[in-house]
Amino acid sequence: MTNRIHRVSGNELVLLQNGAAFFPQLCADIGSAQHSVYLESYIFASDEIGHKVGLALRQAAERGVAVRVLLDGFGSAELPDSFVDGLRKSGVEVQWFRREISPFTLSRSRMRRLRRMHRKLAVIDGEVAFIGGINIIHDIPANLDFDAPRMDYAVRVKGELAGEVQAVMQRLWEMVSWAAFSKRVKEQGWRLYRIKPRPDSNVQLVLRDNVRHRRDIERAYLNAIARAKREIVIANAYFLPGRLFLRSLIHAAGRGVRVVVVVQGKVEYRLQHYATLALYGQLLKAGVEIYEYHASFLHAKVAVVDGEWATVGSFNIDPFSLFLAREANLVVHDAGFAGDLCGNLLDSLQRDGLRVKPDRSSLPTRILARMSFGLVRFIIGVLGLARRH
C-alpha cells in the first residue's frame, strides 16, 4: 500500500501495514533521534527483527541519545538475558512490567499478575510517535506452512500528539521505576511533557488501564457504533466481545447499517478461536457479515465507521483487552485516513478473506464452540470481570 500522509489536527499521519512498512520506518526514526527514544512492546523477540531494532536502539544510546525500553514480563519472557544485557551495556535503559509470572490462578487477590502491558508504542524526541498493534518480532510466523506476514497495522504520527504519547509513556516508566526501586527516578536530561488530552481533536490517543481509563477504548468503539449510519468494518485478532458490545453491533445491523467483522481464519489459540465460533450464529442471524482471513494470522486491531472514524491500536475486543491489559489506540476522525484503512481492509478481504455462511460448521465443531465459549465466560465470571458486560 502507498504510505500517504494525512494532515489532521496539527499532525501528519501515515498508515503502515505489516512489518515490511513498520520496522524500516521505526529504525530510521530511531537512527535520526537527537535527544530521546521511548519504546514499549508486549513482545520483543531476539529474532532477525529484534536484532535490527536492538541495533538501532544501541547505536542511538551510544551516540548520547537517552533510550528507554519497557517490556512486558509475560509477552517478552523468552527474550534472553544476554540480549537485554547487550542493550544495557550500550546505555539503553530497560525495565520490565510485572516480570513475576505465576501459574494461572483464579484468586482475585492475585489478579494483578494477569494485568499485562499490551501496548505497542514508540516516540522519538517527543516529535514522532508510533501507535499500533505490531510487536517487535518477525511478522512471518516461523515453522508454519504459509509465508504471508501477520496482517497488522501501525500509524506513524508526527506532530502535537507525539508529545502526549511521550508523556503517557514517561508516566508508566516512572510508575514501574517506583514499583521496582521503591523510590522515584530522577530525570537526567529528559524533557517533561504534561499530559493534555484534547477531547475535541480529530486525532486522539485513547488508553485502557485498570484505574482511570478502564473503559475508554471500549466507549470510543461503542459511541462510534451507535452513531453509525452506513457501514462498520472491524478487523480484530481475538474477537470475543462482551454482551454490551455484541448487542451494539446487532442493533446497528438491525437499523440497516452494513456491519462487517473480520476474524482469524487460521487457528492460533484454540480456546479463543472456538469460543469466537460460538458467536457466529447470533451475528449472522442479525445480518452481520463475517469474514475469516486465511492468508496468515490476523493480528490487526482496527475499525472504520462510515468512512470517517477510524481506530488503530493494540486493543483486542476480548476479555484480556477489555478487562485486564494496558492498551493504547489512536482514534482518527478524518475521511482520508479512514478511507485508506477501509480500502486496505476490503482489498485484503477480496484477496484472502472467506465469507462465513450460516450453518456451515459440523455438529462436533458447534459443540466444541459452545463448550469453549462457556469455559471462557466461566473464567471471566469467577474472576469477577463480567459486571455490566
Q: Which of 29, 125, 139, 340 is catalytic?
A: 125
| d(C-alpha 350, C-alpha 358), whole Å | 19
Q: Is 51 one of the annotated active-site residues of the chain?
A: no
The cell numbers describing 340, all together, are 485508506
| d(C-alpha 96, C-alpha 177), whole Å | 9
Q: Which of 6, 29, 118, 139 is catalytic?
A: 118
| d(C-alpha 258, C-alpha 91), whole Å | 52
Q: Which of 29, 72, 152, 306 is catalytic?
A: 306
Residue 104: how many CB atoms within 10 A of its CB? 8
Q: Which of 139, 301, 318, 340 is catalytic?
A: 301
Q: Is 301 one of the annotated active-site residues of the chain?
A: yes
Q: Is 118 one of the annotated active-site residues of the chain?
A: yes
Cβ atoms of residues 127 and 29 within 8 Å = no
| d(C-alpha 189, C-alpha 168), whole Å | 18
State the DSSP string of 326-375: BEEEEEEE-HHHHHHHHHHHHHHHHHHEEEPPTT-S-HHHHHHHHHHHHH
Q: Is 138 one of the annotated active-site residues of the chain?
A: no
Q: Which of 120, 139, 158, 340 is catalytic?
A: 120
Q: Is 125 one of the annotated active-site residues of the chain?
A: yes
The cell numbers describing 113, all together, are 499478575
Q: Which of 158, 299, 334, 340 is catalytic?
A: 299
Sign of CA dihedral 165, 168, 174, 175: negative
CA proximity to 95, closest of 20, 28, 180: 180
Active-site annotation, residues = 118, 120, 125, 299, 301, 306
